[in-house]
Amino acid sequence: MKIASILAEREVDSPYAWFRLSMSLLISMIGGVGLWSVVVILPAVEADFELARADASLPYTATMIGFAIGGILMGRLADRYGIVVPLRFGAIALALGYFLSAHAENLWQFVLLQGLLVGMLGSSASFGPVISDVTHWFQRRRGIAVAIGASGSYLAGTIWPPVVQYFVDTQGWRDTHMIIAGVCLCTLLPLSAALRERSPSVPAPLPGRPAQPPTAPALESAGSPLSGRAVQGLLLVAGLSCCVAMAMPQVHIVAYCGDLGYGTARGAEMLSLMLATGIVSRLVFGWLADRIGALPTLIVSSVMQGLSLLLFLPFTGLISLYAVSALFGLAQGGIVPTYALVVRRFFPAAEAGTRVGLVLSATLLGMALGGWMSGKIYDLTLSYDAAFLNGVAWNLLNLSVAFFLWLQLDRRGPARRAVETA
């Protein structure tokens, strides 16, 4: 009875907000299967359809592109109708995508289902919209709350791959997809009910009508030197550039270790280490953002990512690569969630879903571009040295944008800062 009474208080920073955050983390972890299962089943799909390695990689590309587009669509849907609508829609799309792809007869059917249903309409609902929803329920501890919510995708990357691999080995990839479809449908739909309460920072819509956004952006009403459109555009550039840099180790560390003679298994261990320390990074930088602000935290994290990228060049020993991989995870994990904090700092709450979705989609496109670009540079130079330097250059672009925004928005004094939208 006492727990029910506590959770009945639907207020910002209340115990209910933390309960809601735990449900959001669980939803994000389950829904994040779409980002990782396609990587695990790649060899099985390659053998089943008798594909070349490049063709077998197309489902992953389609998933990333679909996920990026879907983040914008689902964010807009969340802004208009609340988080439950995209979550339930995404759960059904995810289950349907896995069910139908289990019966795909050729590569292109599989690619279409993976990109459209699993990526765009399915898993995307459990990432950007969930993170933006978390921002509405916290004010004093918004940084750490967003960091916890954003860790769902990394938890998915930690938990789902071994589970999927086990069922692929014992049941085959098609039956595995059928199992995933059932799990998503039976868990995500009931869990979404835990988030049905409308956010206190966004007015509930009238019956049959979507919620209406405020008449003027917070930046313009506060007399900011930059328009809302300019800030949004700069955040898109920042998101794209940081993840082009981030993609170099994350996408190519396995191949890099193979080239150095350590074997791909060592590279896979380093990738897992990056993800594990990335979770720690998100929590630490979330805590830091609550104390020094979103933009200064973004600058610190960007500096650390650039420096850790440079360390991959001189340190090529096995033990040192493990250490640098761990350091890189500690640096890069805090960057992406910080964008959601910047959006909530300088834009109206009713626009959070759409604007956070846009920036997070830019980060996903940056990952896709960075992975391809690093591979292309390697093909041209037969070395990853230039690819690491290319990542550092993109990281400098990210740092420049973050520093410019800090100077223009945070350093001009309280009178010219944007209004906080609780």
Whether pLDDT at 60 is above 80 = no
pLDDT band at 418 (very low <50, low <70, confident <90, very high): very low
Whether pLDDT at 57 is above 70 = no
The pLDDT of residue 164 is 85
* 127-136, 250-259, 314-323, 331-340, range with the lowest pLDDT: 250-259
pLDDT band at 413 (very low <50, low <70, confident <90, very high): very low
List of residues 6+ apart from 395 with CB closer than 8 A: 241, 242, 245, 302, 305, 306, 309
Rounded mean pLDDT of the chain? 84
Check residues 224 and 330 and name the one with the higher pLDDT: 330
Whether pLDDT at 288 is above 80 = yes
Global pTM? 0.74
Whether pLDDT at 18 is above 80 = yes
Residue 375 CB burial class (10 angstroms; 0-12, 13-18, ≥19): middle
199 close to 333: Cβ distance less than 8 angstroms: no
Q: Residues 139-193: pLDDT tens digits?
A: 888 888 888 888 888 888 778 888 888 888 899 999 999 999 999 999 999 999 9
Mean pLDDT over 285-302 rounds to 92
* 89-103, 126-140, 205-219, 300-314, range with the lowest pLDDT: 205-219
Distance between terminal CA atoms of the chain?
A: 30
pLDDT band at 89 (very low <50, low <70, confident <90, very high): very high
The pLDDT of residue 299 is 95
124 close to 66: Cβ distance less than 8 angstroms: yes
List of residues 6+ apart from 89 with CB closer than 8 A: 74, 77, 121, 125
* 4-18, 119-133, 151-165, 397-411, range with the lowest pLDDT: 4-18
The pLDDT of residue 306 is 95
Q: Residues 187-225: pLDDT tens digits?
A: 999 999 999 887 775 544 444 444 444 433 455 545 567
Mean pLDDT over 357-364 rounds to 87
The pLDDT of residue 48 is 87
Task: Please tell me the distance from the alpha carbon of residue 204 to that of residue 206, in angstroms, as a whole number.
Answer: 7
If you search the block for the tokens 């053998």, which residue do you land on? 47
Check residues 143 and 240 and name the one with the higher pLDDT: 240
The pLDDT of residue 36 is 79
357 close to 128: Cβ distance less than 8 angstroms: yes
Domains annotated on the chain, with CATH: 9-195 (1.20.1250.20), 218-416 (1.20.1250.20)
Range with the largest mean pLDDT of 46-60, 69-83, 156-170, 263-277: 69-83
pLDDT band at 226 (very low <50, low <70, confident <90, very high): confident
DSSP single-letter state for residue 105: -
Mean pLDDT over 59-77 rounds to 86
The pLDDT of residue 8 is 57
Check residues 56 and 291 and name the one with the higher pLDDT: 291
pLDDT band at 75 (very low <50, low <70, confident <90, very high): confident
Whether pLDDT at 99 is above 80 = yes
Mean pLDDT over 222-251 rounds to 86
Q: What is the DSSP secondary-structure string of 148-208?
A: HHHTHHHHHHHHHHHHHHHHHHHH-HHHHHHHHHHHHHHHHHHHHGGG-SPPTTSPPPPTT
Q: Residues 21-47: pLDDT tens digits?
A: 999 999 999 999 988 788 777 778 878
13: helix, coil or strand?
coil
Mean pLDDT over 315-334 rounds to 92
